[in-house]
Amino acid sequence: MIEITFKDGSTRQYDEGVTPEEIAGDIASGLKKKSVGAYVNGELFDLNRPIEEDAALHLITKDDEEALEILNHSSAHLLAHAIKRLYPDARFGVGPAIEGGFYYDIATSESITEEDLPKIENEMRRIVKEAHPVKREVLSKPEALERFKDDPYKLEMLEDFDDSEVITVYTQGEFEDLCRGGHLPNTSRIRHFKLLSVAGAYWRGDSSREMLQRVYGTSWYTKEDLDQYLEMLKERKERDHRKLGKELGIFMLDEKAGQGLPIWLPKGYTVRRVLEDYVYELERRSGYKHLSTPVLGTRQLYEISGHFKHYRDDMFPLMELDDEAYVLRPMSCPHHAIVYSSALRSYRELPIRYAEIVTQHRYEASGALSGLERVRAMTLTDAHIFARKDQIKEEVLSAYRLIQKAIDDLGLEIDYLELALRDEGTGKFHDDDELWNEAEKVMKELLDEAGIEYKEMKGEAAFYGPKIDVQVKTALAHVITMSTVQLDFLLPERFELTYIGKDGRKHRPVLIHRGLLSTWERLMSILLEQYKGAFPTWLAPIQIEIIPVSDVHHDYARDLNRKLIEKGLRSEIDDREEKLGYRIRAAQTQKIPYQLVIGDQEVENDTVTYRRYGEKEQTTLSVDAFIEHIHDEVRRKK
Ligand code: TSB
Ligand code: ZN
């Protein structure tokens, strides 16, 4: 007999070799159905794995967090099982559970496309119906090497094991796979699943190795959960900024123009110009001075700054001329440091805040590029603040407050802050320990003193210092780095920046880097997702669409359009020879905030009747009242 201790401290006696599933059934038959796995003395156990000694038992039920992982992991095996039947020469890489589902990497002589997915799903359903028990088997490394001697992928994976390590193999029906587990005890317990897509994936994530085919799927315990998840994926697709950006004429990418080098189309550029005005004005009021510096810098400039040593992988290659060498700048800090050092500075002048909307280039890996979210040519709402040490806390905090305001004005939400620190010994960071310790300490102190919460992230700092990265969450629960405030003691050293202190002697200023609203590229990707393309009126590329009902209303409509444009509004007229309904729908698909249909009534009474995007209700106003109404809305940014 063995003694099983439960979570609540109670105990029961069982025969040796009892399984968690039997124990669950012994407690309550409902519990047996709900259980999907167990922790036995803290180790993850399959429900049907015998317990051989006294143990603390904790059953995992469908409601627990790990439950989905177990299900999706088993679903990955189910997928591989089906693939093996349909593609007998298939070999398998890895097949883990991931957030929201699972995948399996597959090597076959035939290529698998999305059209094949229903066929594979059907085979999976057949295996579910066949109700194969899932059995775990323990092998030594030599046994495993023998068992999988014909499978080069498995052999390579086995190399990672120590000779003494225990290796487990799972078998269901005729299919077996090397796997750590845990798994559901029977294929019949997988019910509500769907295969989603196929992609290429390098073996071991190494681009010099062969490309395998990765099939993605998702699996849930109830049909409702599955449907809800699929609905969410659909919604995500609808909101994908690449799709919206194309439909709304915001930006384009073209292979001939270059990867990660987006082109802003008229509507996108209009939004960008509005944002630019907004940022200039906000900074002007907050004591920033604007300047403009070139996209090219000498090699020397970036050698002094340390970018050449620590940041070269992220830079485009050197351009060598007769006796000069230039780089496309990845950042503007060195230029701003030069401006600072071009004059004698006194303690009374500090802080000096230089802001610039900076176009810069970074050599991002092609696999990392994604629409506007991660690009190679970008324009950053940048600033560099040169301050005395006694001003650090105040300057970092007020930069952060400005970020908060800007994010709020855009209708976005801060999710959390990351305090990015260095990781010693990686070579990614400058190596003056004293400067690092001081900078990291000040950053922690100022956040703690202000009662601002943050997560520490080791290894994510800039090479020149720690940074506060502001993570923003969009309406789709997509979290991404937007704004940043960075404390830098290094560049002032390297550029030998000084100011004359009260004591008449030279002192070193500090440099605070600040990114306000990320780059226009990333910001646009976030805004598109947040608003699903329906920009608030102050940002909308076209604010008003005027639609005359018929020819007799054209003159009035054109006069009105001219007047609205005169008043600084972005108005457009659709007097194409198309049916009224067609033109109304066109304005709707462009998500234009105000739609003005002009008919007899409007012409007669000198009024407009508008409908807001997404609303049914119509409102009639005098032309002047309408103009005031929109101006007010633009001012309030709502
Ligand atoms: C803030 N020198 C500082 C600057 O003074 C700097 O460049 N910091 S950064 O490297 O963190 O970049 C600033 C911001 O640019 C990031 O917070 C991020 O929002 C945005 N960004 C960085 N790389 C990309 C990219 N490849 N595509 C789009 N936006 C990017
Ligand atoms: Zn900078």
Taking only the tens place, the pLDDT of each residue in 273-291 is 999 999 999 999 999 999 9
pLDDT band for position 638 (cuts 50, 70, 90):
confident
How many Cβ atoms are within 10 Å of 191's Cβ, its own excluded?
15
For residue 36, give the CATH number of its domain. Answer: 3.10.20.30
Q: Are residues 561 and 585 in the same domain?
A: yes
Name the pLDDT band for 431 (thresholds 50, 70, 90): confident
CATH number for 506: 3.30.930.10
Same domain, 78 and 49: no
Q: How many whole angstroms separate alpha carbon 244 and alpha carbon 391?
A: 44
Of ligand 1's listed atoms, the one at least distance from the Cα of 481 is: 19
Q: Is 80 exceeded by the pLDDT of residue 220?
A: yes
Q: What is the CATH number of the domain that holds 71?
A: 3.30.980.10
DSSP 3-state of 66: helix
Residue 83 sits in the same domain as residue 177: yes
What is the number of other CB atoms lying within 10 angstroms of the CB of residue 617?
7
**Residue from 519, 524, 527 whose mutation best tests the ligand 1 pocket (most atoms within 8 A of CB):** 519
Shared domain for 372 and 284, answered yes or no, is: yes
Closest ligand to Cα 524: 1
Cβ of 398 closer than 6 Å to ligand 1, yes or no, is no
The size of the chain, in residues, is 638
Q: What is the pLDDT of residues 121-167, one digit of tens each?
A: 999 999 999 999 999 999 999 999 999 999 999 999 998 888 888 89
Q: Of the candidates 564, 532, 531, which has an alpha carbon nearest to the alpha carbon of residue 545? A: 564
The pLDDT assigned to 361 comes to 97
Alpha-carbon gap, residue 310 to 168, rounded angstroms: 43
Asked if residue 242 is part of any domain, the answer here is: no
161/54 same-domain check:
no
Domain for residue 238, yes or no? no
71 in the same domain as 44: no
Candidate from 61-70, 247-256, 472-481 with smallest mean pLDDT: 472-481
Residue 256 lies in a domain: no
CA of 385 from ligand 2 middle (Å) equals 9
Pick from 195-209, 416-430, 442-456 the range whose average pLDDT is largest: 442-456
Residue 597 in contact with ligand 1 by CB distance below 6 A: no
Average pLDDT, the chain: 94
pLDDT confidence of 236, banded at 50, 70, 90?
A: confident
Which residues form the domain of 281? 263-530
- Pocket of ligand 1 contains residue 481 by CB under 6 Å: yes
Q: Which of 544, 539, 591 is nearest to 566 (CA)?
A: 544
Mean pLDDT within 446-456: 95
Asked, for residue 171, whether it belongs to a domain, the answer is yes
- Is residue 503 one of the residues assigned to a domain? yes
Residue 36's pLDDT is what? 95
Ligand 1: does its nearest atom lie under 6 Å from the Cβ of 515?
yes
Per-residue pLDDT, 425 = 74
Ligand 1 pocket residue status of 362, Cβ below 6 Å: yes
Residue-wise pLDDT tens digits, 296-324: 999 999 999 999 999 999 999 999 998 89
Residues 53-66: what's their mean pLDDT? 93
Q: How confident is the model at residue 455 (pLDDT cuts 50, 70, 90)?
A: very high
Q: Report if residue 157 sits inside a domain.
A: yes
Percent of the chain residues past pLDDT 70, beyond the cut: 100
39 and 81, same domain (yes or no): no
Last residue of a domain, one of 500, 530, 560: 530
Ligand 1 atom 14, closest CA: 518
User: Measuring CA to CA, which residue among 177, 147, 145 is closest to residue 159?
Assistant: 145
Both 425 and 507 in one domain: the answer is: yes
pLDDT value of residue 239: 84
Count the domains in the chain: 4
Cβ–Cβ under 8 Å, residues 423 and 440:
no
- Using the 3D structure, point to which of 61, 89, 110 is the last residue of a domain: 61
Measured in Å, residue 313 CA sits from the centre of ligand 2 at: 17
Residue 428: pLDDT band (50, 70, 90) is confident
CB of 470 within 6 A of ligand 1: the answer is no
The DSSP result for 90-143, as a single string, is -EE----EETTEEEEEEE-SSPP-GGGHHHHHHHHHHHHHHT-BEEEEEE-HHH
Q: Is residue 352 part of a domain?
A: yes
Omega cis (within 30) before 351: yes
CA-nearest residue for atom 3, ligand 1, is 513
Question: Is there an atom of ligand 1 within 6 Å of 521 CB?
Answer: yes
Instruction: Identify the domain boundary among 469, 502, 530.
Output: 530
CA 201/CA 213 separation, integer angstroms: 6
| Same domain flag for 144 and 34 | no
Q: In degrees rounded to 5, what are phi and psi of residue 143?
A: -60, -40
Q: H or E segment at 245?
A: helix 241-247
Q: Give yes or no: residues 206 and 128 share one domain.
A: yes
| 375 CB near ligand 1 (under 6 Å) | yes
What is the three-class DSSP state of 20? helix
Question: 331 and 217 in one domain?
Answer: no
Q: What's the rounded Cα separation, in Å, for the pair 447 and 9?
A: 43
Inter-residue contact 528 to 245 (CB < 8 Å): yes
421 band by pLDDT with thresholds 50, 70 and 90: very high
Average pLDDT over residues 34-48: 94
Which residue has the least CA distance to atom 16 on ligand 1?
Answer: 518
How far away, in angstroms, is 540 Cα from ligand 1 center? 25
- Beta carbon of 420 within 6 Å of any ligand 1 atom: no
CA-383 nearest atom, ligand 1: 5
What is the model's pLDDT at position 237? 83
Is 249 a domain residue?
A: no
Entry pTM? 0.78
CB of residue 364 inside a 6 A radius of ligand 1? yes
Q: Would the CB of 353 count as within 6 Å of ligand 1?
A: no
| 328 and 267 assigned to the same domain | yes
Report the C-alpha gap between 468 and 242 in whole angstroms.
28
Mean predicted confidence (pLDDT) in 230-246: 89
Q: Tell me the pairing of strands 455-458 and 467-473.
A: unpaired
CA 374 to ligand 1: nearest atom: 27
Is the pLDDT at 476 greater than 80? The verdict is no
Testing ligand 1's pocket by substitution, the residue of 380, 395, 482, 527 carrying the most ligand atoms inside 8 A of its CB is 380
Q: Of the residues 403, 518, 527, which should be mutated to test ligand 1's pocket, given the most ligand atoms within 8 Å of the CB?
A: 518
